[in-house]
């Protein structure tokens, strides 16, 4: 995305601009010929002015007749537009207390905004009514508007869902894939595949959990093992295992927003270690029911001491060194080099695609 110009992103929405035909006074034709605009008339490329004049006289069509035909064609346009608008899905009214939503903008409106599809760090860098969206599908964070308002505006196999903007502000409505993740499982709000997306009746919210809405008029209470949390894009039933027993081999792992869930823990369970000052907990939609834990000791930053003996710096934290022997790092981890000039270290399996 870094190499795309803003104009290129906008022009691809217009027919003819994708192949460069709609420029310098030329229009694309249905039969593949290039048609130019000359003195207000559409002209086939390669046709001489003399032949065009002869053809025009031979047809015996008067200017008054042409004007009458044009007016006859234009008169029904308001009725056609009215019928089209009548068939468009209405925008649902916002729920009381709901967060505002970025609208679906017309092309002309997008062109007037200097920050449209520009990179952003938070909503303050986007012109209203745009929001700053972190889009995993494009690996890019940009200023954008909504793509849809209802499910009928999305392709088959997708649904229209609200996504929280970076730094808060207006929500963004996007068409996202209907996936396989179930209630209480991790998800991505902008999923790339079915195994990172929620089922059709669920929303992806909070810090990334598939959940049903709650706390609003007409919504049922949360089921056992869930609680109603006031999170974005709206209040949702999030999982909790506090005070409950987990299946054998799993632990009750705490997450943000008061969430806790039973999972198999790979690595050192630093949540139970009072000496650990920074416990990293990683959970991913592709591996439901599993988490990776590491007590983080930072490195490769100014003023930080070197890693202790038996460890080396990799991805800005000290990690245990390892050998090429099988299972030298333990279950859920693998041995790899983060840098060519450093010894191999134990890396969590979820990072395997990054080494």
Q: Specify if 163 maps to a domain.
A: yes
- Single out the residue in 239, 264, 281 at which a domain terminates: 239
**Would 253 be classed as within a structural domain?**
no
DSSP summary character for residue 185: S
Is the same domain home to 228 and 119?
Answer: yes
pTM, to two decimals: 0.70
pLDDT band at 190 (very low <50, low <70, confident <90, very high): very high
Same structural domain, 216 and 145 = yes
pLDDT digits over 41-55, tens only? 434 344 444 444 444
The distance of Cα 250 from the centroid of its chain, to the nearest Å, equals 32
- Does 227 fall in a domain? yes
pLDDT tens across 4-43, in order? 223 223 323 333 333 333 333 333 333 333 333 334 343 4
pLDDT attached to residue 93:
52
Contacts of 280 by beta carbon, 8 Å cutoff, 6+ apart: 270, 292, 293, 294, 295, 296
In contact, 234 and 216? CB cutoff 8 Å: yes
What pLDDT shows up at residue 352?
A: 82
Q: Do 130 and 87 touch, CB atoms closer than 8 A?
A: no
The verdict on 228 and 147 lying in the same domain is yes
Let me know if residue 3 belongs to a domain: yes
Whether 249 maps to a domain, the answer reads no
Q: Do 139 and 37 share a structural domain?
A: no
Residue 96 placed within a domain: no
Region of poorest pLDDT, from 52-56, 108-112, 148-152, 303-307:
52-56
User: Does residue 40 sit in the same domain as residue 136?
Assistant: no
Burial letters 28-41, b for 16+ CB under 10 A, else e: beeeeeebeeeeee
**Domain assignment of residue 333, yes or no:** yes
Residue 42: inside a domain: yes
Same domain, 204 and 116: yes
Task: Write the pLDDT tens digit of every residue in 283-339.
Answer: 999 999 999 999 999 998 888 999 999 999 999 999 999 987 888 899 999 999 988
Query: Higher pLDDT residue, 340 or 210?
Result: 210
| 82: pLDDT strictly greater than 60 | no
**Across the chain, where does the E strand assignment appear?**
26-28, 34-38, 41-44, 131-135, 140-144, 158-163, 172-177, 203-205, 209-211, 226-229, 236-239, 251-254, 260-267, 279-283, 290-295, 311-314, 317-320, 333-336, 345-348
Domain boundary among 199, 222, 239: 239
pLDDT exceeds 50 at position 89:
no
pLDDT at residue 353, rounded to an integer? 60
Per-chain mean pLDDT for the chain: 79
Q: Do 230 and 333 sit in the same domain of this protein?
A: no
Give the 3-state secondary structure of residue 242. Answer: coil
Domain count within the chain: 3
User: Structural domain of residue 338, as residue ranges?
Assistant: 320-354
Give the per-residue pLDDT at 6: 30
> Which one of 205, 239, 273 terminates a domain?
239
């Amino acid at each position: 995305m870094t190499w795309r110009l803003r104009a290129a992103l906008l022009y691809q929405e217009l027919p003819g601009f994708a192949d460069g035909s709609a420029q310098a006074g030329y229009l694309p034709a249905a039969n593949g010929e290039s048609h130019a605009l000359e003195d207000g008339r559409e002209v086939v490329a390669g046709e001489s002015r003399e032949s065009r004049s002869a053809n025009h006289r031979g047809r015996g069509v008067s200017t008054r007749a042409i004007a009458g035909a044009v007016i006859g064609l234009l008169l029904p346009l308001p009725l056609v537009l009215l019928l089209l608008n009548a068939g468009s899905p209405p925008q649902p009214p916002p729920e009381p207390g709901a967060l505002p939503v970025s609208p679906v903008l017309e092309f002309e409106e997008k062109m007037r905004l200097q920050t449209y599809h520009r990179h952003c760090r938070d909503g303050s860098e986007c012109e209203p009514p745009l929001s700053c969206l972190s889009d995993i599908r494009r690996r890019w964070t940009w200023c954008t508007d909504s793509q849809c308002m209802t499910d009928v505006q999305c392709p088959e196999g997708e649904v229209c869902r609200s996504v929280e903007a970076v730094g808060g502000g207006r929500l963004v409505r996007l068409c996202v894939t209907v996936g396989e993740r179930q209630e209480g499982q991790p998800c991505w709000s902008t999923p790339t595949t079915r195994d990172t997306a929620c089922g059709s009746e669920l929303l992806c919210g909070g810090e990334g959990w598939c959940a049903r809405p709650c706390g609003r008029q007409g919504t049922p209470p949360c089921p056992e093992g869930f609680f109603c949390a006031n999170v974005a894009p709206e209040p949702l039933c999030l999982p909790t295992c506090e005070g409950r027993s987990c299946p054998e081999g799993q632990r009750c792992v705490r997450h943000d927003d008061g969430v806790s869930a039973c999972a198999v823990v790979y690595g050192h369970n630093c949540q139970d270690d009072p000496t650990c000052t920074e416990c990293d907990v990683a959970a991913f939609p592709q591996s439901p029911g599993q988490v990776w834990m590491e007590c983080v000791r930072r490195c490769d930053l100014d003023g930080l001491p070197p890693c202790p003996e038996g460890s080396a710096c990799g991805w800005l934290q000290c990690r245990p060194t390892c050998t090429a022997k099988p299972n030298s790092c333990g279950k859920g981890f693998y041995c790899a080099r983060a840098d060519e000039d450093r010894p191999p270290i134990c890396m969590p399996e979820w990072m395997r695609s990054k080494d």
